[in-house]
Every structure is written in C-alpha cells, then in structure tokens.
Structure 1
Amino acid sequence: MAELPNRTLGRGLAMLELLSQRPDGLKLYEIADALGLARSTAFNLARTLVELDYAWFDAQTNRYTLGLKMFEVGSASLHRLDIVAVIRNCMTEIYRQINETMHLGVRAEKDILYIDKIESTRSIRMISYMGSRAPLYCTALGKAILADLPDAQVRALYRRTTFTQFTEHTVATLPDLLRQLAQVRAQGYALERDEHDPGVCCVAVSLSAPQNHPQYAVSVSAPNFRMDDVDMDRYGRMLLVAKGKIARYARALDAGERSEGEPEKG
C-alpha cells in the first residue's frame, strides 16, 4: 500500500475498506496478506477497531467484519440504507453471543407480524414462520409496542375486544393488560412466559423507527427451561443497548430525509 503521513491511520482505514468488500468477513492472516502487513501489526490494528466498534470479531469463525460504528460514521448518507438491515445487524450481534432465536416484528393493527428472524442452532428451539401473526396483547413483541401508546389509546383499541385465551397464562382483561404495560414502561422491555405458546418465553423491546415507518419490535425467544428470570433480565438489557443504537440511526435517517426535502438556498 502507498505510504501515508500517518501510517497507522492509513493502515486502519485500508483495513476497513478491505472489510467493506468482504461481507462474509476475513481471517487475520487474510487481512495481513492483503494489506502486506505483519500479522502482529494486523492483529493490533484489528483489536483496536473491534474495541472501538468499527469492526466485529466472530470467535466461532475467527473472522473480522465491519462493526456497527461504521453505520454511525456514515450517518450523513444513512437515509440510503434500509432500516431493517440496520436492525438485522443489531440482532446478529446479540445472536452471536447467546444463540437463541431472535424475531423482528411489525405492528399490523391489533397483531404483530413476524417479518424477520435469526433461528437458534440448538436442537430444542422455538419454531416460527415469517409472515405469521399473533395478537399484540399476549406476545412480548406486541406488548413492547403497546407500551409506547398512551393508556387511553390502548383502551380504545381493546374496548370491544374479548381476549382469546391461548394458555392459562394469557392476559384475560384490559385492566390486567394495562398493569403489564405499566411494568414494561418501568423496566424498558416486555416479558412473555407461556402466554401465547406453551413452554416458550420471550423478551422484547420496541424500536424507534424513522418517520413514516411502521412500529417495529425485536425479541429473544427460548424454551422456558433455558431462560430463567436472570436470563430474561440480561437479554432485556442487551436489547435495550441495541434499541439505543437503532434510535441513533433512525434519527440520522430522519435528518437525512429532511435535508433532502429542503429547498436549495440562494
């Protein structure tokens, strides 16, 4: 590579450019060979990029890929990116740490519509189908979205609704649902255990989407025996971190769309 005034910075940028060309990732020796670097030098650069969230290291495959920070750096042109792809990136980051099924859902009137998932590789896991629906009131995804609404709007939505009882744990009345939503608002994430599917528990958060987008939520699901209260809290906190990242992207996307719509001055 050509000599630059700051060799370390130049090498780091060259590494990011290289990773941008390989979505499937590269191993350390591949990076070193491609950039003509000693492996120790490549390792130190890669480690710094990972620590700063500009790169991601998958310990299972020993491959490096671009990190989420790269989306923030490119926020000026973020309006060109698909917000669902950004959400998927955050889902993947969590999935790699826990290997449990993750879902992305969107509100469809009184239902949650499943539009994306990353399935656990464990032998016993939740089975779901993209394009399927479930009621908002008895799913973690749905309750996360409902908790963003004022109570008056929730009452209006379910004023003439009979809550179908999928299990003995399904919420039965509107007052019970409102109490659950108050808890969701207090802790930041929604919980579901045996409410829609027996033997399955779920943790979810709503997501801040750009203007004119539907209401999204993302979740972690697992069999009851593999997710206790401590796990649910841990996964909930991980989802809240992802929610914060996605909110920053959504704000940048909105800002980009507004600037595009402004008339030229002069």
Structure 2
Amino acid sequence: MSILSSAADVLRCFSVTRNELTVTEVSSVLGLPKSNVSRLLRAMRDAGFLETVGETKRYRPGLLLHQTGHIYRFATSLIDRTDAIVARVAAEIGHTGYISMRRGGEVVGITVHPGRNILRVVSTIGDRISAFASSTGRALLARLPDDEVRKLYAQGFVPPSATAPQTLDDLITRLAAIRRAGFAESHDEAVRGVGAISVAVGDPVTGDEAALCISYPASTVTPHERTRIIAALGEGAAEIAAVIGDKRFIPVRFPIEEKSL
C-alpha cells in the first residue's frame, strides 16, 4: 500500500462526530500496527495534512486540508447550485436535505441542511453508503448506461435489507423505473427506519454529478408531503439542468406515481 493510500485511509477515519484521533484509535480502525500508524501520522503532520491538538497526543485535520476543502466547496458551481436548492426545499418541507456525490459503488454526503421537525433524520457528512441501496445512489446510477452499472457491480452485492435491490437484475429494473419517473425513492434500506427521495443533475463541463435528497423518518411522511418533495426537488434540479446544459438530466414526470423506485 502506498503512503498516499495510507494517508487517505487515515483521513477517512475523521468525521463530524470524530474530529480528533490518537495513534491507538487509528490503529484500531485501520487494523495497522501502532508503530506504523505513529510514523504515518507524524509524516502527515509534517506535510500539513494533520496537526496535533495542543500538547496532547491527539491529531486533527490540518490547515492545508481546511484550505483545500474551502476551495473545493466554493469553486464547485454544481455543489453551490444544488445546495441552494436543497436548502430551500428543506426549509419549506421541514425534513433534512442532503447533497451527495457518487464515488464508484458508494455515495458520500457533501452538505446537509437539518430539518426543523421534531422527528428528523441527520446523518454524518462524509460517511459512505452503498449506491445501489440508497435513493441518492440510484438517482446517480440511473444516469449511467446499464452496461456500466453491470460492470460496476460485476462482483455482485449484499442487500442491507429486504427493501433494497436484491439482485443486479432487480437494480437494473429499478433504474429503468427511475429513468421513467425522474426521481429515486428509498424506504428502510441502507439506514433502517429512514425514507428518502432524490433527483440527480450533472455538469457536462466538469463531469461532476450530484444528487439532491430529502430524507425523513419513513413512518411519518404523508402522501401530500411526498408529492411536495418530489415536485420541489424536480423543479429545482430542472432549473440547474437548464442553466448548465445537462443533456442527461431526467425530469420528473407528472402525475407522480405512488411507488418506491
């Protein structure tokens, strides 16, 4: 394993709820010898990727990462545009909104807007979930040709729940339905008890693609709320697609069918 790969693995150990780590904690998470981890963390500190917390033996992301993340966040127009739409919809509907991007067979949350409802769903930004078993992931996978999806899951997958796609053919069938409807929906799949609705849009210039998502406790959303969420996300994504020239955008089809995709 290269030092870059090892450094990337260390950075993935951090999250919003785990923003400081010790050598022992990283060693436990990655299953590596403490001596190796200690040398790696010191090297990352010297390069500016990490910094020590005061006089303690704890590490946190360094200034270089903060600067890079700041540049990435505000220089990526697609994220800016989609985040503005999701913020607006989340405020109107009251449920939590996300922007997610696909990385291979997984999706990762980029931004979040917590809902105002008493019962609300909030997941950690940066955590990765399976693309095939999430509305965000399937909305993005639906933008790919079926043969690319089959290559992506050539080794198969293990469904996390009974409501997730059970086979590759099942996934392909659901993606076809998403292309017809213009949105993806999940219920009690990658995260138990959680429902979500997503649409996807992409920038033809940069190649970036993002999923706009509203999530909620699956048992609480009403048919009226569901329709409002689908319509609001679809209209917002259509605005972005028109501005940036997304020829692969899949518009929401009305009237909205009452079935999970």
- Scaled by the length of structure 1, the TM-score of the pair is 0.61
Q: Distance in 1 between matches of 2:188 and 2:79?
A: 28
Q: How far has the Cα of 1:87 moved from its partner?
A: 1.6
Q: Which amino acid aligns with 1:147?
A: A
* 1:212 corresponding residue in structure 2: 206
Q: Could you say what the CA RMSD is over the residues aligned between the two structures, in angstroms?
A: 2.0
1:246 aligns with 2:212: no
1:139 aligns with 2:97: no
Q: Which has the larger radius of gyration?
A: 1
Q: Distance in 1 between matches of 2:198 and 2:187?
A: 12
* 2:60 corresponding residue in structure 1: none
Q: Distance in 2 between matches of 1:83 and 1:169?
A: 31
Q: Distance in 2 between matches of 1:102 and 1:148?
A: 21
Q: Which amino acid aligns with 2:122?
A: I
Q: How far has the Cα of 1:150 moved from its partner?
A: 0.9
Percent identity for Structure 1 against Structure 2: 24
Select the structure that is richer in helix.
1
For the structure 1 residues 81 and 196, does the alpha-carbon distance in structure 2 shift closer, same or farther, using more than 3 Å as the test? closer
| Cα distance per residue 1:68-124 (max 9 Å; x no partner) | xxxxxxxxxxxx883322222211221221011001001111110110010112222
* 2:250 corresponding residue in structure 1: none
* 2:121 corresponding residue in structure 1: 126
Q: How far has the Cα of 1:229 moved from its partner?
A: 4.3
Q: Distance in 2 between matches of 1:129 and 1:231?
A: 24
Q: Which amino acid aligns with 2:133?
A: C
User: Pairwise mapping of residues 84-233 of structure 1 onto structure 2 (< 5 A)?
Assistant: 84-161=79-156, 163-233=157-227
Work out whether residues 106 and 130 of structure 2, in 8 Å CA contact, stay in contact via their aligned partners in 1: yes
Unaligned runs of 5+ in 1: 1-79, 253-266
Q: Distance in 2 between matches of 1:186 and 1:244?
A: 15
Q: Distance in 2 between matches of 1:171 and 1:86?
A: 30
Q: Which amino acid aligns with 1:249?
A: V
Work out whether residues 99 and 121 of structure 1, in 8 Å CA contact, stay in contact via their aligned partners in 2: yes
User: Pairwise mapping of residues 73-92 of structure 1 onto structure 2 (< 5 A)?
Assistant: 82-92=77-87
How many residue pairs get matched? Answer: 173
Work out whether residues 107 and 214 of structure 1, in 8 Å CA contact, stay in contact via their aligned partners in 2: no
Q: Distance in 1 between matches of 2:164 and 2:80?
A: 32
Work out whether residues 203 and 221 of structure 1, in 8 Å CA contact, stay in contact via their aligned partners in 2: yes
List, as ranges, runs of 4+ consecutive aligned residues in structure 1 with deviation greater than 2 Å.
80-83, 228-234
Q: Which amino acid aligns with 1:141?
A: T
Q: Distance in 1 between matches of 2:94 and 2:188?
A: 21
Q: Tell me, what secondary structure is at the counterpart of 1:138?
A: coil
Unaligned runs of 5+ in 2: 1-74, 247-261
- Scaled by the length of structure 2, the TM-score of the pair is 0.62
